[in-house]
Homo-oligomer: A and B are copies of this chain.
Amino acid sequence: MEVQWRVERLHSRYAACIDDDALESWPEFFTLDACRYEIIPRENVERGLPLALMFCTSRGMLVDRIVSLREANIYPQRWYRHIISNVLIQSVDADGLQVQSNYVVLQTRRTGQTEIFSAGKYVDRIVLHKGELKFAEKRVVVDTHRVDTLLVAPI
């Protein structure tokens, strides 16, 4: 139960970080060594195709991603809002936790209309590092295809 609470808190802080556009802090949610962040279409997962929309295997790559985003956008052109729900711990072992959750990210453009940007699930491997939970792996399995990944904020 306490683990559940801590994992949900991690997710809430993660959501707040992106939604408040504090993207420079986003890489800190991941382990320093050998983390893995992937955005992959559900269709590819079901067909066994490894092709991801975004694939980072180190914290440095996550940092680079944010730097590119910032260079391409002087100020954010749109706002994101994460709704993360149904956080389900699937297994716990000495190495960490396997956790799955559902999400929908809403997007509001400067015109003021809010629409669904992406829906899907997170499949996460979470580890404890110096008393803090970190994502060792975060796999974003997106139901929604039409994701403009070139200049997009992390999901």
Taking a contact as CB atoms closer than 8 A, the residue among B11, B79, B85, B113 that contacts A83 in the complex is B85
> What is the bound-complex CA distance between A101 and B2, given in angstroms?
20
Once A13-B88, A102-B83 are accepted as A-B contacts, the answer to whether A108 and B119 lie under 8 Å apart by CB is: yes
Q: How far is the CA of A14 from the CA of B79 in the complex (A)?
A: 25
> Residue A130 at the B interface, CB < 8 A?
no
Which of A29-37, A50-58, A132-140, A142-150 sits within the interface?
Answer: A142-150
Chain B residue nearest to A147 (CB atoms) is B112
Contacts of A86 in B (CB 8 A): 11-12, 15-16, 82-84
A1 within 8 A of partner (CB) = yes
A108 touches B143 (CB 8 A): yes
